[in-house]
Amino acid sequence: MKASDILALVRPNIAALTPYSTARDEYQGALGIFLDANESPYPTGYNRYPDPHQKELKRRIGEIKGVDPARIFIGNGSDEAIDLVFRVFCRPGVDNAVAITPSYGMYKVAAAINDVALREVRLEEDFSLPAERLLAACDTHTRLMFLCSPNNPTGNAFGRDELLALADRFSGMLVVDEAYIDFSSIPSLRTQIAAHPNIIVLQTLSKAWGMAALRVGLAFADPLVISLMSQVKYPYNIGQKTQETVLEALSSPIDARVAEIVSERARVAEALRGMPVVLKLWPSEANFLLVRFPDADAMYEKLLAEGIIVRNRNRVPGCEGCLRITIGTPEENDRLIETLIQSKP
Ligand code: PMP
């Protein structure tokens, strides 16, 4: 798809939108007597509205990610970006979206909130990408396709070439959710958005960067898509304190922590693989393992009784009998392993 084809996919009311213009849009100097935004004049440390465009943060994230700031959207978690792509591209009750399943639950919830039908396509038995079935599920009203890679909760990542080939054959916007990409050996698709303008890459600071409580998600896409998402978002979607805290936190490298999670993932997997209580363990490119037990509900309760909380995926179609276990610190992982060793199948 060419960048000039994107506009035809946008909801007509969004393409025609006159966005809200904030006081901070109209005057951008830093010094002066600010009587323009009905703020309190008394300094509390947060009496002024924040930068609605998060310019400084985008510049820094652009540097770290090697992406032009005009191709970066910053949201209140990537959940905000997921909601916004529905609001920008899908006419409620008319358009539809396609997603893999099992996958991250918010695609379905955001679709339902926006009154958009979500057509879920089961992954292959080995969790690989059902490219032909995904394309077959599309019709002329399909505006979005969601692929999560590495996928939550299955843990596998899809090949870069198969994702690019799918993007080229799809006539809507392909949303690739890379929330767990920092833990993966597969490179991010964010470097491919210029060559493939119908790809929107989602990332988050909630996982490898350790900022889940701050709520910062990222979307990398064509500048037109970024500008549409920015017009639809709430003007001041990222608070001043968050922008400042994130800027500061971005100067501490995460490499050592990510390396420890990745090596712990291998160690925990190795320990689990030999256990009679473990029926199946899938390879993972993320910071969690999907594990099948003879009785997942009983194992969930047993771990809970030991103070270990995991995610029970037993009722998710395709993940029957499975728990999703996040990789913790080496000490936390030791506790998990000890508890599992003591469990009878
Ligand atoms: N995408 C995936 C695949 C996730 O697993 C999650 C959170 N669990 C998110 C997005 C949302 O992340 P956040 O809103 O914290 O950025």
Q: Look at the chain and report how many structural domains it folds into.
A: 2
Same domain, yes or no: 58 and 187: yes
pLDDT at residue 46 in the model? 96
- 46 domain-assigned: no
215-245 pLDDT per residue, tens: 999 999 999 999 999 999 999 999 999 999 9
User: Where a domain ends, among 249, 273, 298?
Assistant: 249
Which of 249, 283, 301 is where one domain is finished?
249
Does residue 31 form part of some domain? no
Ligand 1 site, residue 183, Cβ cutoff 6 A: no
Instruction: For residue range 112-166, list pLDDT tens digits in order.
Output: 999 999 999 999 999 999 999 999 999 999 999 999 999 999 999 999 999 999 9
Residue 33 lies in a domain: no
Instruction: Give the number of the atom of ligand 1 that is nearest the alpha carbon of residue 104.
Output: 3
pLDDT average, residue stretch 24-50? 92
Q: Which of 191, 178, 117 is nearest to 151 (CA)?
A: 178
**Is residue 34 situated within a structural domain?**
no
Give the bridge partners for 290, in sequence order: 324
Which residue type sits at 245?
A: T
Number of neighbouring beta carbons within 10 Å of residue 317:
10
| Side-chain-side CA neighbours of residue 173 (13 Å) | 33
Query: What confidence score (pLDDT) does residue 26 get?
Result: 85
Q: Is the CB of 312 under 6 A from ligand 1?
A: no
Which of 82, 106, 107 most suits a substitution to test ligand 1, by most atoms within 8 Å of the C-beta?
Answer: 106
**What 3 state SS string does the chain have?**
CCHHHHHHHCCHHHHCCCCCCCHHHHCCCCCCCCCCCCCCCCCCCCCCCCCCCCHHHHHHHHHHHCCCHHHEEEECCHHHHHHHHHHHHCCCCCCEEEEEECCCCHHHHHHHHCCCEEEEEECCCCCCCCHHHHHHCCCCCEEEEEEECCCCCCCCCCCHHHHHHHHHHCCCEEEEECCCHHHCCCCCHHHHCCCCCCEEEEEECCCCCCCHHHCCEEEECCHHHHHHHHHHCCCCCCCHHHHHHHHHHCCCCCHHHHHHHHHHHHHHHHHHHCCCCCCEECCCCCCEEEEECCCHHHHHHHHHHCCCCCEECCCCCCCCCEEEEECCCHHHHHHHHHHHHCCCC
Taken as a whole, the chain contains a residue count of: 345
The closest of 149, 155, 100 to 325, measured between CA atoms, is: 155
Q: Distance, CA 194 to ligand 1 centroid (Å)?
A: 24
Cα 12 to averaged position of ligand 1 atoms, centre (Å): 29
Spatial separation of the C-alpha atoms in residues 50 and 246, rounded to whole Å = 14
Query: Which pTM value belongs to this model?
Result: 0.97
- Ligand 1 centroid to residue 277 C-alpha, Å: 30
Domain co-membership, 144 together with 260: no
Residue 41 is assigned to a structural domain of this protein? no
Q: 332 CB contacts (<8 Å, ≥6 apart)?
A: none
**Confidence band (pLDDT; 50, 70, 90) for 23?**
confident
Q: Are residues 90 and 198 in the same domain?
A: yes
Same domain, 241 and 260: no
For residues 57 and 97, membership in a common domain is answered with yes
Say yes or no: CB of residue 206 within 6 Å of ligand 1: yes
Residue 85 alpha carbon to ligand 1 centre in Å: 15
In a domain, 154, yes or no: yes
CA-CA distance, 340 to 290, in Å (whole number)? 14
Quick: pLDDT tens for 281-313: 999 999 999 999 999 999 999 999 999 999 999
140-172 as b/e: b if 16+ CB within 10 A: eebbbbbbbbbbbbbbbbbebeebbebbeebeb
Residues 271, 211 share a domain: no
Sheet holding 217-220, edge to edge: 72-75, 217-220, 199-204, 173-177, 142-148, 96-101, 117-122
Does the C-beta of 152 come closer than 6 Å to ligand 1?
Answer: yes
User: Are residues 261 and 241 both part of a single domain?
Assistant: no
- In this predicted structure, the answer to whether residue 266 has a pLDDT above a threshold of 80 is yes
CATH of the domain at 308: 3.90.1150.10
106 alpha carbon – ligand 1 mean position (Å): 8
Task: Examine the domain organization and report whether 225 and 183 are in the same domain.
Answer: yes
Whether 25 has a pLDDT exceeding 90, the answer reads no
Q: Give the CA distances from residue 308 to residues 257, 280, 295, in Å, rounded to whole numbers and listed in that order.
A: 21, 20, 17
Do 142 and 291 fall into the same domain?
no
* pLDDT exceeds cutoff 80 at 271: yes
Nearest alpha carbon, ligand 1 atom 7: 179
Per-residue pLDDT at 332: 98
Q: How far is residue 178's CA from residue 182's CA, in Å, rounded to a whole number?
A: 8
State which of 194, 224, 249 marks the end of a domain.
249
| Residue 132 CA, ligand 1 centroid: distance in Å | 26
39 falls within a domain: no
How many angstroms separate the alpha carbon of residue 79 from the centre of ligand 1?
6
Tokens encoding 182: 């920092």
217 lines ligand 1 (CB under 6 A): yes
Residues 76 and 171 reside in one and the same domain:
yes
Same domain for 189 and 284:
no
For residue 177, what are the β-bridge partners?
148, 202
What is the position in ligand 1's atom list of the atom closest to the CA of 75? 16
Domain at 146, CATH number = 3.40.640.10
Residue 335 lies in a domain: yes
For ligand 1, pick from 109, 154, 202, 206 the residue to mutate: most ligand atoms within 8 Å of CB. Answer: 206
Full residue range of the structural domain in which residue 172 is found: 3-20+53-249
Residue closest by Cα to atom 2 of ligand 1: 179
Q: Cα of 198 to ligand 1 centre, how many Å?
A: 21
Statement to judge: residues 220 and 285 lie in one domain: no
